[in-house]
Chain A
């Protein structure tokens, strides 16, 4: 089924380790973004991209890296994991440009940093 696929679904990291959260979509959406959600909170934007080769920072970008080499994929890299990065991470995609376009979200990656 078409949609946004996030892998892995669960991950436990030790402090200082690095890892990449994967996000892929098959809807030919230009716009992709990463959010984190801490317990009892709304989603906060980490990074977003309006097309291949273009990325920009959101509200909470520190400690995270992104790149967009293809339309389909938008991986999120944690450079040196910290306990404060324990959260649920959601990837979203949408068509880009003027006008309304609905966002499609993945089912999330639950990350624990110990």
Chain B
């Protein structure tokens, strides 16, 4: 699986938008971009995924660069409950059956 690069940590004020960047310069054409987050003392949970087009769901938005070498997870209004480690993961979903490989992620702190 291609590797991703994320900042170790970021800080945001409550109620403000948060942009979490992810670089993946060696992404292949069959790699989907997955985002998971891990709240304190819990297992990871799915946030959003995409291939080429920007995506929105009730939790977040995913903006994917035109060349697909980077992406940004957008939380529109951060709350204290969004404090977590966010993982950007590439996985070849086209081939299937390949494991989800985690990096160290970005630890997001939200300040009241």
Contacts and interface: CB of A to CB of B under 8 A. Distances in A.
Interface in B61-108: 85, 87, 93-97, 99-105
A45 interface: yes
Size category of the A interface is 20 to 34
Contacts of B49: 100, 102
A74 interface: no
A63 B86 CA distance: 29
A81 interface: no
B42 A98 contact: no
A99 to B, nearest CB: 6
Interface stretch (A12-20, A65-73, A89-97): A89-97
Interface string B26-46: 000000100010000111111
A58 B94 CA distance: 20
Interface of A: 4, 31, 33, 35, 41-45, 48, 50, 58-59, 90, 92, 96-108
Interface of B: 32, 36, 41-46, 49, 85, 87, 93-97, 99-105
